[in-house]
């Protein structure tokens, strides 16, 4: 007897720092659990996700919720939310790395490394918000990078400084100087987004599986 074709589910995923591996493994577990589905996953930028969700070429998107905060046309479910420390990052031999009582205001005149809008809709907005919330002057010099790795390399080489979630450079943190912005925290909310109503059930079952896997980060 001829078997029918499996229903294809296309999932786009943003690099979400130290949660990425567990999310990817959770998607693989979802694929094993629902063998009647042909589940494909691809790393992509929020911009690419949005275009493909709107065109119907993508079924689900997994990323930091702040990237799609203003997208009211999309359905979403939270996967994980934790308030994380905000840290200043720079090369270990950067002149400011040796400054006693370094504050966020000391970075105002520096070149700030950020992810380009093609990679992250809200990176620059969040960085500016950290300065404003601390009462510091918002920097005028920004340098855009097309990937987290490119930004990381520039930081290590002294080409820029930045301020971001403490978890963003977790793998290479030993190569960078970092200092917590005292008393400053931000939500690192990760969500799954979709557009088509007929994806509701599948999105919820995937979300339940991923939420369980990400619980361990609540204790970090």
Structural domain boundaries in the chain: 7-81+189-219, 83-187
Give CA–CA dist 62/43, Å, rounded. 10
CATH 3.40.190.10 fits 83-187, yes or no: no
| 7-81+189-219 against 83-187: fold identical | yes
The reported pLDDT for the residue numbered 17 is 75
The reported pLDDT for the residue numbered 43 is 92
Q: Which two tokens stand for residue 34?
A: 């629902």
7-81+189-219: CATH, from 3.40.190.10, 3.40.50.620, 3.40.228.10, 3.40.50.2300 = 3.40.190.10
CB–CB of 80/217 below 8 Å? Answer: yes
Three-state secondary structure call for residue 101: coil
Residues of the chain where predicted confidence (pLDDT) is lower than 70: 1-5, 70, 170-173, 183-187, 216-220
| Global model pTM greater than 0.75 | no
The reported pLDDT for the residue numbered 189 is 81
């Amino acid at each position: 007897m001829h078997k029918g074709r499996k229903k294809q589910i296309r999932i786009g995923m943003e690099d979400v720092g130290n949660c990425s591996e567990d999310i990817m493994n959770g998607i693989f577990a979802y694929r094993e659990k629902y063998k009647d589905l042909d589940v494909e996953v691809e790393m992509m930028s929020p911009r690419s996700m949005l275009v493909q969700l709107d065109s119907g070429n993508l079924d689900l998107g997994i990323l930091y919720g702040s990237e799609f905060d203003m997208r009211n046309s999309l359905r979403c479910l939270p996967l994980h939310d934790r308030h994380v420390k905000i840290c200043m990052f720079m090369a270990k031999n950067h002149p400011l790395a040796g400054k006693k009582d370094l504050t966020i205001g000391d970075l105002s005149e520096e070149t700030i490394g950020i992810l380009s809008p093609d990679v992250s809709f809200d990176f620059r907005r969040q960085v500016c918000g950290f300065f404003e919330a601390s009462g510091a002057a918002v920097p005028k010099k920004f340098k855009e990078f097309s990937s987290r790795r490119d930004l990381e390399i520039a930081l290590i080489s002294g080409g820029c400084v930045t301020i971001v979630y403490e978890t963003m450079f977790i793998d290479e943190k030993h190569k960078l100087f970092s200092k917590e912005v005292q008393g400053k925290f931000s939500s690192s909310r990760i969500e799954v987004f979709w557009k088509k109503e007929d994806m509701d059930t599948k999105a919820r079952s995937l979300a339940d599986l991923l939420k369980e896997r990400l619980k361990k980060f609540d204790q970090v």
